[in-house]
Amino acid sequence: MARRRIGQEEFRFPAEEGRRGSALDEASALLDWSGIDRLLAPIYAAEKGERAWPPLALFKALLLAVWYDLSDVKLAEAVDDRASVRRFCGFAATEATPERTAFVRFRRELVKRGLDRVLFDAVGDQLAARGVVVRTGTLIDATVIASASVSDPEAQWVGHRRKAPVHGFKAHVAADGEGGIVRAIEVAPANVHDGKMLGSVLPQEPGDVYADLAYVGDANRQHILAAGGRPFLPARGTWGGEAALRRLETWNRQVGRIRRRVEKIFGTWKRSYGLRLARYRGLARFGLQVRLTAIAYNLRRAATILKPVPA
């Protein structure tokens, strides 16, 4: 399938020299997009068939859908009629743009080829090379996301003593303790215990590792030590009277104050990026949604970290 060629004309705004860069311009400048394009090259690479939209343009469009919480219909409208969106995706001012079905087919290809993991790692490596990952500490936690349908066979029910049961999945996350950049992600049905997933998301060079009570245990402690990290996990009740109890409470407060930073990531995902609900059925499609959300979040967070501080 031959590729369309887009962006052949120079797309500039009047008086661009004095124009203030937008958030999309900042995000665009963060990456070497040619490296991302090479990873997407196998998609729509056949010589026969209708000309396909460039995969990089579609990938950038999916990031826009996350940032602005857009449905496929609204995304197609935004790419068609918003100048900043056209420029970010690479379309010239008067070119045709994809309709919503192009995004559906593109997501299907990403899932089939497992490219969501590859793209997440590639973007993370580029951001790390720019110095936005400090590697002195790691925050690990999980969040429950309700499934798109209670009939989804790959989702499971999970209960909570203070909340109503939820049918869905969990996103297990390891984030950089300083900058808040998401370094690792795994997804699982909602009934998988958080503590069993620590080894799957623990990054290399984790530094000081903070997590909640769900991760307490000898196995996880050994995982952290084997990776060269130091476990900072909360402790459970102990013997020794009031003095020992006060030490325990002080320790848990110190750990909790740092660990809770990861909740800001989940809050942004759910409040601003539409991850209150899994949009698609199945664990693999949910994994794509979460990793696209994490890529979009990391780009915005990196832009903030790298922004010059006013004198």
Q: DSSP for 89-134?
A: HT--TT-----HHHHHHHHHHHHHHTHHHHHHHHHHHHHHHTT---
- Whether 157 and 248 map to the same domain: the answer is yes
Asked if residue 38 belongs to a domain, the reply is yes
- Whether 25 and 150 map to the same domain: the answer is no
Above 80 in pLDDT, residue 311? no
Distance CA 173, CA 44 (A): 32
Q: Which of 162-171, 235-244, 259-268 has the lowest mean pLDDT?
A: 235-244
Q: How far apart are the first and last CA of the chain?
A: 52
Asked if residue 173 belongs to a domain, the reply is yes
289, 304, 309: which is closest to 62 by C-alpha?
289
Tokens of residue 84, six digits: 């900043």
Q: What is the mean pLDDT of residues 167-177?
A: 97
Q: Quote the mean pLDDT of the chain.
A: 91
Do residues 187 and 286 lie in contact, with contact meaning Cβ atoms separated by under 8 Å?
Answer: yes
Helix or strand (DSSP H, E) at 232:
strand 230-232
Distance CA 210, CA 137 (A): 8
- Whether 143 and 85 map to the same domain: the answer is no
- Whether 145 and 272 map to the same domain: the answer is yes
Give the chain's domain count.
2
Domain that holds residue 178: 134-279
Asked if residue 295 belongs to a domain, the reply is no
Q: What pLDDT digit, counting tens, does each position of 89-141 carry? A: 999 988 999 999 999 999 999 999 999 999 999 999 999 999 999 889 999 99
- Whether 144 and 100 map to the same domain: the answer is no
Q: Out of 113, 148, 165, pick the residue that ends a domain.
A: 113
Tokens of residue 51, six digits: 């000309």
Asked if residue 266 belongs to a domain, the reply is yes
**Residue 16 φ/ψ region, left for φ over 0, alpha for ψ in the -120 to 50 degree band, beta for the rest:** alpha
Name the pTM for this structure: 0.92
- Whether 153 and 269 map to the same domain: the answer is yes
The better pLDDT of the pair 212, 19 is held by 212
3-class state of residue 4 by DSSP: coil
The answer to whether the Cα torsion of 248, 253, 259, 263 is positive or negative is positive
Asked if residue 285 belongs to a domain, the reply is no
The answer to whether the Cα torsion of 178, 181, 184, 189 is positive or negative is positive
CB-CB neighbours of 5 under 10 Å: 9
Asked if residue 123 belongs to a domain, the reply is no
Asked if residue 310 belongs to a domain, the reply is no
CATH of the domain at 248: 3.30.420
Above 90 in pLDDT, residue 150? yes
- Whether 40 and 82 map to the same domain: the answer is yes
- Whether 146 and 244 map to the same domain: the answer is yes
- Whether 55 and 160 map to the same domain: the answer is no
Above 90 in pLDDT, residue 242? no
Above 60 in pLDDT, residue 210? yes
Distance CA 224, CA 228 (A): 7
Please give the full DSSP string across 132-193, using - where no structure is assigned.
----SEEEEEEEEEE-S-TT-TT-EEEEETTEEEEEEEEEEEEEETTT--EEEEEEEETTS-
Above 80 in pLDDT, residue 13? no
- Whether 99 and 140 map to the same domain: the answer is no
| Contacts (Cβ under 8 Å, ≥6 apart) of 167 | 146, 147, 150, 152, 155, 156, 157, 190
- Whether 105 and 152 map to the same domain: the answer is no
Asked if residue 303 belongs to a domain, the reply is no
Burial of 160 (C-beta count, 10 Å sphere; 0-12/13-18/19+):
exposed
- Whether 155 and 106 map to the same domain: the answer is no
